[in-house]
Chain A
Amino acid sequence: MQLKNFNSISKITAVAIIASNALYAENYVSVEFLQYDENDNRVSVSAPSLSASYDIGTDYTIKADIVHDAVSGATPSWQPDSSSGASSRDNSGDYVYENQEFKEARNAGSIMLTTRFENRDELYTGFDYSRESDFDSKAVSAEYMHYTDKSHNQALNVGVSYAFNEILSYDYDTGSGASQKEESHSLNVQAGISQVLNDHSSVKVEAFTILDDGYLTNPHANVVRDYNTANQKLVTENRPDKRTAYGANLKYITMVGDDLSFKTNYRFYTDDWDIDSHTVDADVYYALNKKVTLGAGVRYYTQSEANFYNKNKDFFTNEEYASSDERLSNFDATTYKASVDFKQNDKVSYNLGAEFYSQSTGLDATMITTGLKYKF
């Protein structure tokens, strides 16, 4: 009888500890800073951000974050070759694929409300906003998570988001430079299932589709048309005004021993621009002691090229769609990650992370993140 009571008390205590930890962890304020730098003096980004999460009773959680991106540097595109005497986009000279300098600032914010129902199902509703000098985006999203069993070992989720984007394009092609406001829309639908496998492993499978519609061209990227003819010219790239993508994501996480977690993720993506991609991500976290957690990871990404991509200046003639943007090319990329977290006490923790990203296009980049989180 005593043993039975002891077991019951232990179970109640364990549930209380887990529940109190989960609830305790909900309220926080955190500041993070990202420094991103590419090789060859290309893009640099400094991005401070502020996030906060607050519980309203036990049924609601509100989370908000803001970020400011200060972007500077250069990005490669076809340009008139000034060394050949060319200064315009018509047939007066040659063209070179070289860095085009730019400076940009982006302010973005998001707010999300989590609503928990009597059966503890959850509804997430959110609004995202992003503003640059030539790009505005507003997005709304909703996602519902339904537990299929009393122990909450299996959950189904379905979500949808809609983004409305306004893009300022410039008429470089006629030389007028006049600006014009363009629009694009994006619908993202996702459904998935998560399953607890045992007391130390979980798996999650998701499928998604993304429908883009409208002005999907990069107004700052150029292509050369009719090279080496009397009609040769440098014009803004032109992408299809629709894009339909499908994909699936498989995530798995497990604890090895008492202190080492292993998380892995595989994503498959395909779209009607003929871009297929595979992403494999693996991360480990090791709790060195009660205060320090070490992290390491590797990510591998590979994609095929869009059916309207070509980097050569003598390729495009009268094709409707044309782009020389390397991000639409066939390439692979690897990221190496390392991080350390220091928990000063139950309320204050610090994090520092470093990542090295390398593309087969020649692009290399470093990402340094550092932050402070205060729980209350």
Chain B
Amino acid sequence: MIKFLLLAMSASLFMGCSLIKEVKPWEKETLAKPIMQFGGLHPEVTKFESHVYFSKEASRGGSGVAGGGCGCN
């Protein structure tokens, strides 16, 4: 499964990276949509998910520096 997902990600990234085009501020309507945010549609839900993974898995990091510790792991 990981190979398939990496392949799909690489393919979509390649398509996106084929040309970096300068985008003017008035052309950013699509990029400004809530479903186009890296933090997800609901950052609060993303925070819940991160906490669950933090408590059940041995690795962490990469999703911002904010956030405290927890006795759950």
Q: Which residues of A contact B (CB under 8 A)?
A: 10-12, 14-15, 17-18, 21-22, 25, 30, 32, 34, 36, 47, 49, 51, 65, 71, 104, 106, 108, 110, 112, 124, 126, 128-130, 132, 134-135, 137-139, 141-143, 151-153, 159-161, 163, 165, 167, 184, 186, 188-190, 194-204, 206, 208, 210, 218, 245, 247-255, 261-264, 266-267, 269, 271, 273, 275, 277-280, 282-283, 285, 287, 293, 295, 298, 300-303, 306, 327-328, 333-334, 339, 341, 351, 353, 355, 357, 359, 363, 365, 367, 369, 371, 373
Contacts and interface: CB of A to CB of B under 8 A. Distances in A.
Contacts of A295: 41
B52 A367 contact: yes
Nearest to B60: A210
Contacts of B28: 18, 196, 199
Contact of A110 (B52, B67, B71): B67
Contacts of B8: 264, 282
7 residue pairs, one from A and one from B, having the closest CB atoms: A135-B71, A128-B68, A137-B69, A249-B62, A159-B65, A139-B68, A285-B35
B24 A151 contact: yes
Given A15-B25, A203-B16, A203-B17, A129 B58 contact: no
Nearest to A208: B61
B65 A190 contact: yes
Contact of B68 (A47, A130, A151): A130
Given A151-B22, A198-B21, 15 more contacts: A30-B44, A32-B48, A34-B48, A71-B72, A106-B70, A124-B66, A139-B69, A143-B64, A143-B65, A161-B65, A161-B66, A198-B19, A252-B12, A261-B35, A367-B49
What DSSP secondary structure best describes chain A's contact surface?
strand
Interface string B17-35: 1011111111111111111
B62 A247 contact: yes
Contacts of B19: 197-198
Given A135-B70, A300-B1, A300-B5, A200 B31 contact: yes
A195 B2 CA distance: 25
Contact of A267 (B31, B47, B62): B62
A203 B58 contact: no
Contacts of A282: 5, 8-9
Contact of B32 (A18, A141, A283, A302): A18
A339 B41 contact: yes
A363 B53 CA distance: 13
B63 A359 contact: no
Contacts of B32: 18, 21-22
B59 A283 contact: no
Nearest to B37: A253
B38 to A, nearest CB: 5
Given A139-B68, A189-B65, A285 B60 contact: no
Contact of A264 (B9, B40, B69): B9
A143 B9 CA distance: 28
A306 B58 contact: yes
B57 A327 contact: yes
Given A203-B16, A203-B17, A196 B23 contact: yes
A339 B34 CA distance: 15
B21 A186 contact: no
B42 A280 contact: no
Given A14-B26, A261-B33, A130 B70 contact: yes
A355 B49 contact: yes
B68 A159 contact: no
